[in-house]
Chains A and B, each alone.
Chain A
Amino acid sequence: MVLIYSNDKKLNMEMLSKGRELADELGKKVTVAVIGKSDTDPEEYIKQGADKVFVADTDLESFKVEEYTEILAGIIEKTGVETILISSDKDGKELAPRLASMMDTGCVTECTDVYIEDGNVTAERIIYSGNAVAVERFIKKPHILTVPAKLFDPLEVDDSRSGEIINEKVAYDESPSKILKVQQMECEGVNVEDATSIVSCGRGFKNKEDIKLAEELAKLLPGETIGCSRPLSADLKWMTEDHWIGLSGHKVKPKIYIAIGISGQIQHIAGMRDSDIIVAINKDPEALIFKSADYGVVGDLYEVLPKLVDTIKAKIS
Protein backbone atom coordinates (compact mmCIF):
# COMPACT_ATOMS: atom_id res chain seq x y z
CA MET A 1 0.00 0.00 0.00
CA VAL A 2 1.10 3.56 -0.75
CA LEU A 3 0.50 6.37 1.75
CA ILE A 4 0.38 10.07 0.87
CA TYR A 5 0.85 12.82 3.42
CA SER A 6 1.04 16.58 3.20
CA ASN A 7 -0.72 19.32 5.11
CA ASP A 8 -1.20 21.05 1.76
CA LYS A 9 -4.12 19.86 -0.36
CA LYS A 10 -2.52 20.79 -3.66
CA LEU A 11 0.60 18.78 -2.90
CA ASN A 12 -1.53 15.84 -1.81
CA MET A 13 -3.26 15.86 -5.20
CA GLU A 14 0.06 15.93 -7.05
CA MET A 15 1.51 13.09 -5.00
CA LEU A 16 -1.72 11.18 -5.31
CA SER A 17 -1.27 10.92 -9.06
CA LYS A 18 2.22 9.44 -8.64
CA GLY A 19 1.02 7.28 -5.75
CA ARG A 20 -1.78 5.92 -7.96
CA GLU A 21 0.69 5.05 -10.70
CA LEU A 22 3.06 3.26 -8.30
CA ALA A 23 0.21 1.41 -6.60
CA ASP A 24 -1.27 0.25 -9.91
CA GLU A 25 2.10 -1.02 -11.02
CA LEU A 26 2.59 -2.90 -7.77
CA GLY A 27 -1.02 -4.05 -7.55
CA LYS A 28 -1.53 -2.11 -4.30
CA LYS A 29 -3.90 0.50 -2.91
CA VAL A 30 -3.43 4.21 -2.09
CA THR A 31 -4.30 5.88 1.20
CA VAL A 32 -4.19 9.59 1.99
CA ALA A 33 -3.42 10.48 5.62
CA VAL A 34 -5.12 13.57 7.05
CA ILE A 35 -3.82 14.82 10.39
CA GLY A 36 -5.26 17.69 12.37
CA LYS A 37 -7.55 20.38 11.05
CA SER A 38 -8.26 20.20 7.33
CA ASP A 39 -10.70 22.12 5.16
CA THR A 40 -10.65 19.45 2.50
CA ASP A 41 -13.51 17.01 2.18
CA PRO A 42 -11.88 13.53 2.19
CA GLU A 43 -14.12 12.59 -0.74
CA GLU A 44 -12.07 14.96 -2.90
CA TYR A 45 -9.02 12.75 -2.42
CA ILE A 46 -11.00 9.70 -3.44
CA LYS A 47 -12.21 11.44 -6.58
CA GLN A 48 -8.61 12.21 -7.46
CA GLY A 49 -7.20 8.75 -7.05
CA ALA A 50 -7.24 7.57 -3.42
CA ASP A 51 -8.74 4.24 -2.37
CA LYS A 52 -8.83 5.22 1.27
CA VAL A 53 -8.54 8.34 3.40
CA PHE A 54 -7.34 7.92 6.97
CA VAL A 55 -8.38 10.90 9.08
CA ALA A 56 -6.47 10.95 12.36
CA ASP A 57 -8.64 12.65 14.88
CA THR A 58 -6.47 14.97 17.02
CA ASP A 59 -6.78 18.18 19.01
CA LEU A 60 -3.55 19.55 17.57
CA GLU A 61 -3.98 23.04 16.20
CA SER A 62 -1.28 22.90 13.57
CA PHE A 63 1.72 20.95 12.36
CA LYS A 64 4.13 19.96 15.12
CA VAL A 65 6.86 17.61 14.02
CA GLU A 66 7.35 15.33 17.04
CA GLU A 67 3.64 14.68 17.49
CA TYR A 68 2.93 14.33 13.77
CA THR A 69 5.76 11.81 13.43
CA GLU A 70 4.18 9.60 16.06
CA ILE A 71 0.73 9.93 14.54
CA LEU A 72 1.99 9.09 11.07
CA ALA A 73 3.91 6.10 12.47
CA GLY A 74 0.66 5.01 14.10
CA ILE A 75 -1.20 5.26 10.79
CA ILE A 76 1.56 3.32 9.01
CA GLU A 77 1.27 0.57 11.58
CA LYS A 78 -2.51 0.39 11.39
CA THR A 79 -2.65 0.41 7.60
CA GLY A 80 0.46 -1.64 6.88
CA VAL A 81 1.65 0.73 4.15
CA GLU A 82 5.03 0.10 2.55
CA THR A 83 5.70 3.22 0.49
CA ILE A 84 5.16 6.68 1.92
CA LEU A 85 5.21 9.88 -0.11
CA ILE A 86 5.51 13.09 1.93
CA SER A 87 5.58 16.59 0.50
CA SER A 88 9.03 18.15 0.23
CA ASP A 89 8.02 21.44 1.84
CA LYS A 90 9.72 22.58 5.04
CA ASP A 91 7.28 20.64 7.25
CA GLY A 92 7.54 17.46 5.21
CA LYS A 93 11.32 17.65 5.02
CA GLU A 94 11.69 17.59 8.78
CA LEU A 95 8.93 15.04 9.29
CA ALA A 96 10.12 12.40 6.80
CA PRO A 97 13.62 11.78 8.23
CA ARG A 98 12.33 11.73 11.82
CA LEU A 99 9.75 9.17 10.76
CA ALA A 100 12.40 7.15 8.89
CA SER A 101 14.56 7.17 11.99
CA MET A 102 11.68 5.96 14.14
CA MET A 103 11.13 3.07 11.71
CA ASP A 104 14.86 2.40 11.18
CA THR A 105 14.42 2.72 7.48
CA GLY A 106 15.58 4.69 4.46
CA CYS A 107 14.40 8.07 3.30
CA VAL A 108 15.10 9.92 0.07
CA THR A 109 14.37 13.64 0.25
CA GLU A 110 13.49 15.96 -2.63
CA CYS A 111 13.11 13.26 -5.24
CA THR A 112 13.33 14.40 -8.84
CA ASP A 113 11.80 11.12 -9.98
CA VAL A 114 10.23 8.03 -8.42
CA TYR A 115 9.65 4.77 -10.28
CA ILE A 116 9.61 1.00 -10.01
CA GLU A 117 12.63 -0.79 -11.43
CA ASP A 118 13.00 -4.56 -11.22
CA GLY A 119 10.07 -4.50 -8.84
CA ASN A 120 11.84 -2.11 -6.46
CA VAL A 121 10.89 1.43 -5.52
CA THR A 122 13.69 3.60 -6.90
CA ALA A 123 14.18 7.33 -6.53
CA GLU A 124 16.47 9.95 -8.02
CA ARG A 125 17.74 13.04 -6.30
CA ILE A 126 20.21 15.81 -7.01
CA ILE A 127 23.51 15.72 -5.15
CA TYR A 128 26.74 17.75 -5.21
CA SER A 129 24.77 20.97 -5.73
CA GLY A 130 23.39 19.95 -9.07
CA ASN A 131 26.55 18.31 -10.46
CA ALA A 132 25.09 14.83 -10.23
CA VAL A 133 21.96 12.78 -9.81
CA ALA A 134 21.98 9.84 -7.40
CA VAL A 135 19.78 6.86 -8.12
CA GLU A 136 18.78 5.28 -4.83
CA ARG A 137 17.01 2.03 -4.11
CA PHE A 138 15.35 1.02 -0.88
CA ILE A 139 16.65 -2.15 0.74
CA LYS A 140 14.15 -2.09 3.58
CA LYS A 141 10.47 -1.30 4.06
CA PRO A 142 8.77 1.03 4.58
CA HIS A 143 10.18 3.35 1.93
CA ILE A 144 9.93 7.03 2.77
CA LEU A 145 10.26 9.68 0.06
CA THR A 146 9.69 13.40 -0.10
CA VAL A 147 8.28 14.90 -3.29
CA PRO A 148 8.65 18.57 -4.29
CA ALA A 149 5.73 20.64 -5.56
CA LYS A 150 4.87 20.59 -9.26
CA LEU A 151 6.83 17.43 -10.02
CA PHE A 152 3.72 15.46 -10.89
CA ASP A 153 0.43 16.61 -12.42
CA PRO A 154 -2.73 15.85 -10.43
CA LEU A 155 -5.25 13.40 -11.90
CA GLU A 156 -8.57 14.58 -13.29
CA VAL A 157 -11.48 14.62 -10.85
CA ASP A 158 -13.47 11.42 -11.36
CA ASP A 159 -16.85 11.58 -9.64
CA SER A 160 -17.51 7.92 -10.23
CA ARG A 161 -14.64 6.81 -7.97
CA SER A 162 -15.51 5.48 -4.56
CA GLY A 163 -13.42 4.62 -1.55
CA GLU A 164 -13.30 4.23 2.19
CA ILE A 165 -13.00 6.98 4.77
CA ILE A 166 -11.69 6.06 8.20
CA ASN A 167 -11.85 8.33 11.23
CA GLU A 168 -9.74 7.20 14.12
CA LYS A 169 -7.85 8.55 17.09
CA VAL A 170 -4.14 7.83 17.00
CA ALA A 171 -2.13 8.00 20.22
CA TYR A 172 0.88 10.30 20.60
CA ASP A 173 2.95 11.76 23.40
CA GLU A 174 3.26 15.47 23.88
CA SER A 175 6.67 16.89 23.02
CA PRO A 176 8.54 19.11 25.50
CA SER A 177 8.78 21.83 22.85
CA LYS A 178 5.97 24.21 22.11
CA ILE A 179 5.09 26.70 19.42
CA LEU A 180 4.83 30.21 20.86
CA LYS A 181 4.00 32.16 17.73
CA VAL A 182 3.25 31.63 14.06
CA GLN A 183 3.58 34.54 11.71
CA GLN A 184 2.37 34.14 8.13
CA MET A 185 4.80 35.85 5.79
CA GLU A 186 3.14 37.65 2.93
CA CYS A 187 3.79 36.00 -0.34
CA GLU A 188 3.44 37.60 -3.74
CA GLY A 189 2.29 34.40 -5.34
CA VAL A 190 4.96 34.46 -8.03
CA ASN A 191 5.28 31.22 -9.87
CA VAL A 192 8.92 31.15 -10.95
CA GLU A 193 8.79 27.45 -11.83
CA ASP A 194 6.42 28.07 -14.73
CA ALA A 195 7.88 31.41 -15.90
CA THR A 196 9.06 31.69 -19.52
CA SER A 197 11.48 34.50 -18.69
CA ILE A 198 13.11 35.47 -15.40
CA VAL A 199 15.06 38.58 -14.50
CA SER A 200 16.98 37.62 -11.37
CA CYS A 201 18.63 39.98 -8.90
CA GLY A 202 21.59 39.46 -6.59
CA ARG A 203 23.69 41.29 -4.01
CA GLY A 204 25.00 43.56 -6.74
CA PHE A 205 21.89 45.69 -6.10
CA LYS A 206 22.67 48.29 -3.45
CA ASN A 207 19.13 49.11 -2.29
CA LYS A 208 15.74 47.51 -2.32
CA GLU A 209 14.36 50.40 -4.41
CA ASP A 210 16.86 49.66 -7.20
CA ILE A 211 15.07 46.40 -7.96
CA LYS A 212 12.74 48.54 -10.06
CA LEU A 213 15.53 48.72 -12.65
CA ALA A 214 15.14 44.98 -13.04
CA GLU A 215 11.36 45.31 -13.11
CA GLU A 216 11.65 47.69 -16.04
CA LEU A 217 13.52 45.02 -17.94
CA ALA A 218 11.14 42.25 -16.85
CA LYS A 219 8.19 44.24 -18.22
CA LEU A 220 9.61 43.85 -21.72
CA LEU A 221 9.75 40.06 -21.46
CA PRO A 222 6.91 37.54 -21.37
CA GLY A 223 5.53 36.93 -17.89
CA GLU A 224 7.30 39.85 -16.16
CA THR A 225 8.85 37.53 -13.59
CA ILE A 226 11.48 38.61 -11.05
CA GLY A 227 13.72 36.12 -9.28
CA CYS A 228 16.53 36.56 -6.77
CA SER A 229 19.49 34.92 -5.06
CA ARG A 230 19.26 33.59 -1.51
CA PRO A 231 20.69 36.62 0.32
CA LEU A 232 18.04 38.98 -1.14
CA SER A 233 15.27 36.82 0.22
CA ALA A 234 16.67 34.99 3.26
CA ASP A 235 19.01 37.68 4.57
CA LEU A 236 17.86 41.10 3.39
CA LYS A 237 14.16 40.20 3.04
CA TRP A 238 13.89 42.45 -0.02
CA MET A 239 11.87 39.80 -1.78
CA THR A 240 9.51 37.11 -0.60
CA GLU A 241 10.52 33.48 -0.60
CA ASP A 242 8.65 32.69 -3.82
CA HIS A 243 11.30 34.65 -5.79
CA TRP A 244 14.24 32.72 -4.32
CA ILE A 245 16.08 30.58 -6.86
CA GLY A 246 18.68 27.93 -6.17
CA LEU A 247 19.51 24.72 -4.40
CA SER A 248 17.54 25.71 -1.32
CA GLY A 249 15.02 27.78 -3.26
CA HIS A 250 12.99 27.21 -6.41
CA LYS A 251 14.27 25.31 -9.44
CA VAL A 252 13.41 27.05 -12.70
CA LYS A 253 13.67 26.37 -16.42
CA PRO A 254 12.64 29.51 -18.35
CA LYS A 255 13.47 30.24 -22.00
CA ILE A 256 15.64 33.12 -20.81
CA TYR A 257 17.24 33.72 -17.40
CA ILE A 258 18.98 37.05 -16.85
CA ALA A 259 21.22 37.04 -13.76
CA ILE A 260 22.06 40.56 -12.62
CA GLY A 261 24.61 41.23 -9.89
CA ILE A 262 24.71 37.53 -9.04
CA SER A 263 28.15 35.99 -8.49
CA GLY A 264 27.19 32.53 -9.75
CA GLN A 265 27.95 30.35 -6.75
CA ILE A 266 27.11 26.73 -7.46
CA GLN A 267 24.14 26.79 -5.06
CA HIS A 268 22.50 29.48 -7.19
CA ILE A 269 23.35 27.74 -10.46
CA ALA A 270 21.69 24.57 -9.10
CA GLY A 271 18.33 26.32 -9.36
CA MET A 272 18.60 27.75 -12.89
CA ARG A 273 20.92 25.45 -14.81
CA ASP A 274 18.04 24.06 -16.86
CA SER A 275 17.24 27.46 -18.40
CA ASP A 276 17.40 27.59 -22.21
CA ILE A 277 19.44 30.79 -22.43
CA ILE A 278 21.39 32.29 -19.52
CA VAL A 279 22.50 35.93 -19.61
CA ALA A 280 24.79 37.40 -16.96
CA ILE A 281 25.37 41.04 -16.09
CA ASN A 282 28.18 41.56 -13.62
CA LYS A 283 30.84 44.21 -13.13
CA ASP A 284 33.49 41.66 -12.21
CA PRO A 285 34.96 40.07 -15.38
CA GLU A 286 36.15 37.14 -13.23
CA ALA A 287 32.68 36.45 -11.78
CA LEU A 288 31.83 32.75 -11.84
CA ILE A 289 28.45 33.46 -13.37
CA PHE A 290 30.07 34.05 -16.77
CA LYS A 291 31.15 30.39 -16.83
CA SER A 292 27.49 29.37 -16.60
CA ALA A 293 26.21 31.94 -19.08
CA ASP A 294 25.51 31.91 -22.80
CA TYR A 295 25.89 35.68 -23.04
CA GLY A 296 27.53 38.01 -20.56
CA VAL A 297 27.93 41.74 -20.28
CA VAL A 298 30.76 42.97 -18.09
CA GLY A 299 29.61 46.22 -16.57
CA ASP A 300 27.92 48.07 -13.76
CA LEU A 301 24.28 47.02 -13.60
CA TYR A 302 23.28 50.62 -12.89
CA GLU A 303 24.62 51.58 -16.31
CA VAL A 304 23.80 48.39 -18.18
CA LEU A 305 20.15 48.01 -17.19
CA PRO A 306 18.84 51.38 -18.48
CA LYS A 307 20.74 50.89 -21.75
CA LEU A 308 19.44 47.35 -22.08
CA VAL A 309 15.86 48.46 -21.51
CA ASP A 310 16.16 51.21 -24.15
CA THR A 311 17.83 48.93 -26.67
CA ILE A 312 15.24 46.17 -26.29
CA LYS A 313 12.43 48.73 -26.55
CA ALA A 314 13.90 50.04 -29.78
CA LYS A 315 14.36 46.51 -31.10
CA ILE A 316 10.87 45.23 -30.46
CA SER A 317 8.98 48.34 -31.49
Chain B
Amino acid sequence: MNIIVCAKEVVDVSEIKIDKNTNKPVLQGIDKKISDIDKNAVEEAVRIREKLGGKVTVVSVGPSEAREYIKELLAMGADEAKIIPYPDTGDYNVVSTLLAAAINNLEGYDIILCGEASIDLFSGQMGPRLAQKLGVPQITYAKKIDAEDEKLTADRDLGDKKITTESTYPVLLSVTKEINEPRLPSLMEILGAANKPIEVVDHSSLVGEEDPVIEIIDVKGVSMERKNIIFDDDLDEAVKKLVDNLAKDGALG
Protein backbone atom coordinates (compact mmCIF):
# COMPACT_ATOMS: atom_id res chain seq x y z
CA MET B 1 0.00 0.00 0.00
CA ASN B 2 1.50 3.36 -1.01
CA ILE B 3 0.14 5.96 1.36
CA ILE B 4 0.66 9.68 0.93
CA VAL B 5 0.07 12.14 3.77
CA CYS B 6 -0.24 15.85 3.04
CA ALA B 7 1.05 17.86 5.96
CA LYS B 8 1.56 21.54 6.45
CA GLU B 9 3.66 23.73 8.69
CA VAL B 10 1.57 26.37 10.46
CA VAL B 11 2.05 29.13 13.01
CA ASP B 12 0.83 28.20 16.47
CA VAL B 13 -2.41 30.18 16.32
CA SER B 14 -2.82 30.20 20.10
CA GLU B 15 0.23 32.48 20.36
CA ILE B 16 -0.92 35.15 17.94
CA LYS B 17 -1.29 38.67 19.35
CA ILE B 18 -2.85 41.66 17.65
CA ASP B 19 -0.75 44.80 17.20
CA LYS B 20 -2.92 47.57 18.69
CA ASN B 21 -1.46 50.27 16.41
CA THR B 22 -1.75 48.51 13.08
CA ASN B 23 -4.64 46.18 14.01
CA LYS B 24 -2.77 43.34 12.32
CA PRO B 25 -1.93 39.92 13.72
CA VAL B 26 1.75 39.67 14.62
CA LEU B 27 3.19 36.51 13.05
CA GLN B 28 6.91 37.15 13.47
CA GLY B 29 8.56 35.15 16.19
CA ILE B 30 5.60 32.85 16.73
CA ASP B 31 6.32 29.15 17.15
CA LYS B 32 5.67 26.90 14.19
CA LYS B 33 4.35 23.39 14.21
CA ILE B 34 2.69 20.77 12.06
CA SER B 35 -1.01 21.48 11.69
CA ASP B 36 -2.69 19.41 14.44
CA ILE B 37 -4.93 17.14 12.41
CA ASP B 38 -2.12 16.30 9.95
CA LYS B 39 -0.62 14.28 12.80
CA ASN B 40 -3.84 12.28 13.00
CA ALA B 41 -3.43 11.67 9.25
CA VAL B 42 0.15 10.40 9.75
CA GLU B 43 -0.95 8.19 12.64
CA GLU B 44 -3.70 6.66 10.50
CA ALA B 45 -1.27 6.12 7.60
CA VAL B 46 1.21 4.33 9.85
CA ARG B 47 -1.55 2.13 11.26
CA ILE B 48 -2.69 1.16 7.76
CA ARG B 49 0.90 0.35 6.78
CA GLU B 50 1.32 -1.72 9.93
CA LYS B 51 -1.72 -3.72 8.86
CA LEU B 52 -1.22 -4.03 5.11
CA GLY B 53 2.44 -3.24 4.54
CA GLY B 54 3.77 -0.60 2.13
CA LYS B 55 5.20 2.86 2.48
CA VAL B 56 4.15 6.19 3.96
CA THR B 57 5.33 9.35 2.18
CA VAL B 58 4.74 12.83 3.58
CA VAL B 59 4.34 15.65 1.05
CA SER B 60 4.39 19.29 2.10
CA VAL B 61 4.31 22.62 0.31
CA GLY B 62 5.82 25.27 2.52
CA PRO B 63 9.01 26.93 3.64
CA SER B 64 12.14 24.76 3.58
CA GLU B 65 12.57 25.17 7.35
CA ALA B 66 9.46 22.97 7.58
CA ARG B 67 12.08 20.18 7.56
CA GLU B 68 12.43 20.58 11.32
CA TYR B 69 8.78 19.73 11.86
CA ILE B 70 8.48 17.15 9.10
CA LYS B 71 11.14 15.15 11.00
CA GLU B 72 8.60 14.63 13.78
CA LEU B 73 6.32 12.90 11.29
CA LEU B 74 9.15 10.61 10.21
CA ALA B 75 9.77 9.80 13.87
CA MET B 76 6.09 8.88 14.17
CA GLY B 77 6.68 6.26 11.50
CA ALA B 78 6.43 7.86 8.07
CA ASP B 79 9.12 6.48 5.74
CA GLU B 80 10.11 9.52 3.71
CA ALA B 81 9.16 13.09 2.94
CA LYS B 82 9.10 15.55 0.05
CA ILE B 83 9.13 19.26 0.76
CA ILE B 84 8.26 21.68 -2.00
CA PRO B 85 9.44 25.11 -0.88
CA TYR B 86 7.02 27.78 -1.95
CA PRO B 87 6.89 31.37 -0.76
CA ASP B 88 3.13 31.85 -0.39
CA THR B 89 0.95 28.92 0.54
CA GLY B 90 -2.27 30.93 0.65
CA ASP B 91 -3.53 30.24 -2.87
CA TYR B 92 -5.22 26.87 -2.85
CA ASN B 93 -5.23 26.53 -6.61
CA VAL B 94 -1.44 26.91 -6.82
CA VAL B 95 -0.66 24.70 -3.81
CA SER B 96 -3.01 21.90 -4.88
CA THR B 97 -1.46 21.96 -8.36
CA LEU B 98 2.01 21.60 -6.81
CA LEU B 99 0.90 18.80 -4.49
CA ALA B 100 -0.79 16.93 -7.34
CA ALA B 101 2.30 17.20 -9.54
CA ALA B 102 4.57 16.00 -6.72
CA ILE B 103 2.27 13.08 -5.99
CA ASN B 104 2.07 12.13 -9.66
CA ASN B 105 5.88 11.99 -9.71
CA LEU B 106 5.93 9.29 -7.03
CA GLU B 107 5.95 5.59 -7.85
CA GLY B 108 2.20 5.37 -7.50
CA TYR B 109 -0.28 5.81 -4.70
CA ASP B 110 -3.26 4.03 -3.21
CA ILE B 111 -4.35 6.25 -0.33
CA ILE B 112 -3.88 9.96 0.14
CA LEU B 113 -4.62 11.37 3.58
CA CYS B 114 -5.22 14.99 4.55
CA GLY B 115 -6.47 16.68 7.71
CA GLU B 116 -10.11 17.81 7.78
CA ALA B 117 -8.78 21.37 7.95
CA SER B 118 -5.58 23.23 8.74
CA ILE B 119 -5.51 25.17 12.00
CA ASP B 120 -4.37 28.48 10.50
CA LEU B 121 -6.60 28.81 7.42
CA PHE B 122 -9.19 26.22 8.45
CA SER B 123 -10.87 25.98 5.09
CA GLY B 124 -10.89 22.24 4.34
CA GLN B 125 -10.20 23.02 0.70
CA MET B 126 -7.00 21.16 0.00
CA GLY B 127 -8.30 17.59 0.23
CA PRO B 128 -11.21 18.03 -2.21
CA ARG B 129 -9.12 20.16 -4.57
CA LEU B 130 -6.34 17.61 -4.65
CA ALA B 131 -8.72 14.69 -5.14
CA GLN B 132 -10.22 16.44 -8.15
CA LYS B 133 -6.78 17.29 -9.59
CA LEU B 134 -5.73 13.64 -9.26
CA GLY B 135 -9.09 12.42 -10.57
CA VAL B 136 -9.81 10.26 -7.51
CA PRO B 137 -12.82 10.02 -5.19
CA GLN B 138 -12.75 11.86 -1.88
CA ILE B 139 -14.00 10.77 1.51
CA THR B 140 -14.01 13.76 3.83
CA TYR B 141 -14.39 13.85 7.64
CA ALA B 142 -13.42 10.21 8.07
CA LYS B 143 -13.72 9.15 11.70
CA LYS B 144 -12.86 5.51 11.11
CA ILE B 145 -11.01 3.86 8.24
CA ASP B 146 -11.00 0.16 7.56
CA ALA B 147 -8.47 -0.55 4.80
CA GLU B 148 -8.22 -3.91 3.06
CA ASP B 149 -6.10 -5.02 0.11
CA GLU B 150 -8.56 -4.19 -2.63
CA LYS B 151 -10.78 -1.51 -1.10
CA LEU B 152 -11.51 0.49 2.01
CA THR B 153 -14.57 1.59 3.94
CA ALA B 154 -14.76 4.71 6.04
CA ASP B 155 -17.26 6.14 8.51
CA ARG B 156 -17.79 9.84 7.97
CA ASP B 157 -19.04 11.96 10.83
CA LEU B 158 -21.14 14.83 9.51
CA GLY B 159 -22.81 15.84 12.77
CA ASP B 160 -26.42 15.42 11.68
CA LYS B 161 -25.69 12.19 9.83
CA LYS B 162 -23.19 9.37 9.75
CA ILE B 163 -22.28 7.96 6.36
CA THR B 164 -20.35 4.80 5.58
CA THR B 165 -18.58 5.01 2.22
CA GLU B 166 -16.62 2.38 0.32
CA SER B 167 -14.02 2.98 -2.34
CA THR B 168 -11.48 1.14 -4.42
CA TYR B 169 -7.95 2.58 -4.68
CA PRO B 170 -6.71 5.18 -5.29
CA VAL B 171 -8.77 7.34 -2.95
CA LEU B 172 -8.24 10.51 -0.94
CA LEU B 173 -9.52 10.84 2.61
CA SER B 174 -9.57 13.72 5.04
CA VAL B 175 -9.54 12.65 8.67
CA THR B 176 -11.06 14.23 11.78
CA LYS B 177 -9.27 14.93 15.02
CA GLU B 178 -11.27 12.14 16.68
CA ILE B 179 -10.07 9.34 14.35
CA ASN B 180 -7.13 8.40 16.58
CA GLU B 181 -4.63 9.57 19.17
CA PRO B 182 -1.35 10.46 17.40
CA ARG B 183 1.59 8.61 18.97
CA LEU B 184 4.40 10.40 20.72
CA PRO B 185 7.63 9.06 19.21
CA SER B 186 10.24 7.59 21.56
CA LEU B 187 13.76 8.94 21.74
CA MET B 188 14.97 5.98 19.65
CA GLU B 189 12.39 6.76 17.00
CA ILE B 190 13.39 10.41 16.99
CA LEU B 191 17.06 9.49 16.52
CA GLY B 192 16.17 6.89 13.91
CA ALA B 193 14.22 9.44 11.89
CA ALA B 194 17.42 11.38 11.22
CA ASN B 195 18.36 8.77 8.61
CA LYS B 196 15.05 8.84 6.79
CA PRO B 197 15.12 10.69 3.47
CA ILE B 198 13.69 14.21 3.14
CA GLU B 199 13.87 15.42 -0.44
CA VAL B 200 13.50 19.09 -1.26
CA VAL B 201 11.78 19.45 -4.64
CA ASP B 202 12.01 22.71 -6.58
CA HIS B 203 8.50 23.89 -7.48
CA SER B 204 9.61 25.00 -10.96
CA SER B 205 10.52 21.38 -11.71
CA LEU B 206 6.90 20.39 -11.10
CA VAL B 207 4.79 23.00 -12.86
CA GLY B 208 5.29 26.22 -14.78
CA GLU B 209 4.39 29.64 -13.44
CA GLU B 210 0.87 29.48 -11.96
CA ASP B 211 -1.28 32.59 -11.82
CA PRO B 212 -3.02 33.16 -8.51
CA VAL B 213 -6.83 33.04 -8.60
CA ILE B 214 -7.44 34.82 -5.31
CA GLU B 215 -5.87 37.91 -3.84
CA ILE B 216 -5.86 38.55 -0.10
CA ILE B 217 -6.34 42.29 0.00
CA ASP B 218 -6.37 42.74 3.76
CA VAL B 219 -5.90 40.84 7.01
CA LYS B 220 -7.60 42.57 9.93
CA GLY B 221 -6.78 41.62 13.50
CA VAL B 222 -9.66 40.80 15.82
CA SER B 223 -8.81 41.55 19.41
CA MET B 224 -10.88 40.70 22.44
CA GLU B 225 -10.93 42.79 25.60
CA ARG B 226 -12.34 41.13 28.72
CA LYS B 227 -12.65 42.25 32.32
CA ASN B 228 -10.70 39.24 33.66
CA ILE B 229 -12.13 39.53 37.17
CA ILE B 230 -11.30 36.24 38.88
CA PHE B 231 -12.81 35.18 42.18
CA ASP B 232 -10.54 32.66 43.82
CA ASP B 233 -11.31 33.24 47.47
CA ASP B 234 -13.69 31.21 49.63
CA LEU B 235 -16.18 29.50 47.33
CA ASP B 236 -19.34 30.89 48.95
CA GLU B 237 -17.88 34.36 48.79
CA ALA B 238 -16.73 33.86 45.16
CA VAL B 239 -20.12 32.65 44.00
CA LYS B 240 -21.86 35.51 45.80
CA LYS B 241 -19.60 38.10 44.16
CA LEU B 242 -20.15 36.52 40.77
CA VAL B 243 -23.93 36.60 41.11
CA ASP B 244 -23.86 40.18 42.40
CA ASN B 245 -21.83 41.27 39.39
CA LEU B 246 -24.04 39.41 36.95
CA ALA B 247 -27.15 40.95 38.49
CA LYS B 248 -25.55 44.40 38.27
CA ASP B 249 -24.75 43.78 34.58
CA GLY B 250 -28.36 42.77 33.99
CA ALA B 251 -27.27 39.34 32.77
CA LEU B 252 -29.67 37.30 34.87
CA GLY B 253 -32.72 37.86 32.73
Contacts and interface: CB of A to CB of B under 8 A. Distances in A.
Interface of A is mostly: mixed
B92 A185 contact: no
A134 B221 CA distance: 9
A256 B246 contact: yes
Contacts of A194: none
A292 B177 CA distance: 24
A182 B158 CA distance: 10
Contacts of B231: 295-298
Given A101-B133, A221-B253, A304-B239, 6 more contacts: A106-B214, A126-B222, A130-B222, A290-B230, A297-B239, A312-B246
Contacts of B141: 90
Contacts of A131: 13, 16, 18, 25, 221-222
Contacts of A90: 140-141, 158-159
Given A98-B138, A298-B232, A140 B213 contact: yes
B123 interface: yes
**7 tightest A-B CB contacts, nearest first:** A241-B159, A177-B167, A177-B137, A106-B214, A106-B213, A97-B125, A101-B129
Contacts of B171: 176-177
A155 interface: no
Interface of B: 11, 13-14, 16, 18, 24-25, 91-93, 96, 116-117, 119-133, 137-141, 153, 157-168, 171, 176-178, 211-222, 224, 226-232, 235-236, 238-240, 242-247, 249, 251-253
| Chain B contact residues, majority secondary structure | mixed
A66 interface: yes
Nearest to A104: B93
A176 B153 contact: no
A66 to B, nearest CB: 5
21 contacts: A90-B158, A93-B124, A94-B124, A97-B123, A98-B132, A100-B92, A107-B214, A122-B217, A129-B120, A132-B25, A132-B220, A134-B216, A134-B218, A140-B213, A178-B166, A180-B166, A183-B162, A185-B159, A221-B253, A244-B159, A307-B235
Interface stretch (A33-41, A159-167, A272-280): A272-280
A97 B239 contact: no
Contacts of B126: 97
Nearest to B27: A128
A272 to B, nearest CB: 10
Given A94-B128, A97-B129, A181-B164, A304 B235 contact: yes
A192 to B, nearest CB: 13
A9 interface: no
A60 interface: no
B122 A315 contact: no
Given A241-B159, A291-B228, A315 B252 contact: yes
